[in-house]
Chains A and B, each alone.
Chain A
């Protein structure tokens, strides 16, 4: 994957397949300590202990079309390559929590990329689910919650083009604010 934002999109698709009604994506950055934390949490069907152990194995997948599943292994590798950490916790019928810590000053650090695009795609393509997106830079935080947006929108779908453009700009502007209005160095 060329951007961590694509890994986020990929891992969140697993949450959608797991039937989650609420998916939380956290991107927490500390530019002084050169760390970036990504968390993806869901309330989907979860996995058994045995399954959790096997998802980090690229030759395990629930898919029937092919015999490999690369999503989790790729994300784990991207984190560990930088000297960071990866973990996955899951409980049957409770949900799954995927966490990864990246050292952003490593030469092997994959740029974060366009997270706004990932979030907009998740939100607008899965309007029957709810998403919380939490982004912070050195403790300054911005959050987007689709439950709030749905309250405002009423019958107007989140997938409407003008709405999705608004969400994208809203995320971009608020993210720039976290960097003190400066250009996002990751994009």
Chain B
């Protein structure tokens, strides 16, 4: 059974880690998941969870996952935007949890957007 004592232990461990870690500044990468009715109904919840898990698993620093409302292209939900400073925003459409590992690996880590998952690929 999970206990509050366990949460205290997590707190102490995390506090130590936080003092070591440099705070992330303006160079942070933002992953934004559309979480309005359209996004949620299309399956945005597992997609957002998959991003959070993958980033934790790879211990990536300076990457934040946030949510936003309706992006305005509901037929392409779940939609995920990857925003890196100094680069053009990349919009991924019809995302699934299975596609997340490749986006994190190819795009976030190695800097090569996965063209076939982007809105550009679907609109052609």
* Residues of A that sit less than 8 Å from B by CB: 1, 6, 9-10, 13, 17, 63, 65-66, 69-71, 74, 117-118, 121, 124-125, 149, 152-156, 160-164, 166, 169-170, 173
Contacts and interface: CB of A to CB of B under 8 A. Distances in A.
A63 B70 contact: yes
B18 interface: yes
B2 A170 contact: yes
B42 to A, nearest CB: 10
A124 to B, nearest CB: 8
Interface in B1-41: 1-2, 4, 6-8, 10-11, 13-15, 18, 35-38, 40-41
Nearest to A70: B37
Q: How many residues of B sit at the interface, in one of the four size bands?
A: 20 to 34
A176 B49 CA distance: 22
A153 B7 CA distance: 8
Interface of B: 1-2, 4, 6-8, 10-11, 13-15, 18, 35-38, 40-41, 45, 48-49, 52, 56, 66-67, 69-72, 74
A121 B14 contact: no
B77 to A, nearest CB: 12
Contacts of B49: 117, 121
Contact of B41 (A6, A13, A69, A169): A6
A13 B35 contact: yes
A154 B11 contact: yes
A184 to B, nearest CB: 16
Interface of chain A: mostly helix, strand, loop or mixed: helix
A173 B37 CA distance: 29
Contacts of A74: 37, 41
Contacts of A13: 35-36, 40, 69
B69 A117 contact: no
Given A10-B37, A71-B37, A156-B14, A164 B52 contact: yes
A153 B8 CA distance: 7
B79 to A, nearest CB: 12
Nearest to A172: B2
A160 B4 CA distance: 16
17 contacts: A1-B40, A9-B35, A10-B36, A10-B37, A10-B40, A13-B40, A65-B70, A65-B72, A66-B74, A117-B45, A121-B49, A152-B4, A154-B15, A155-B15, A160-B14, A163-B14, A164-B52
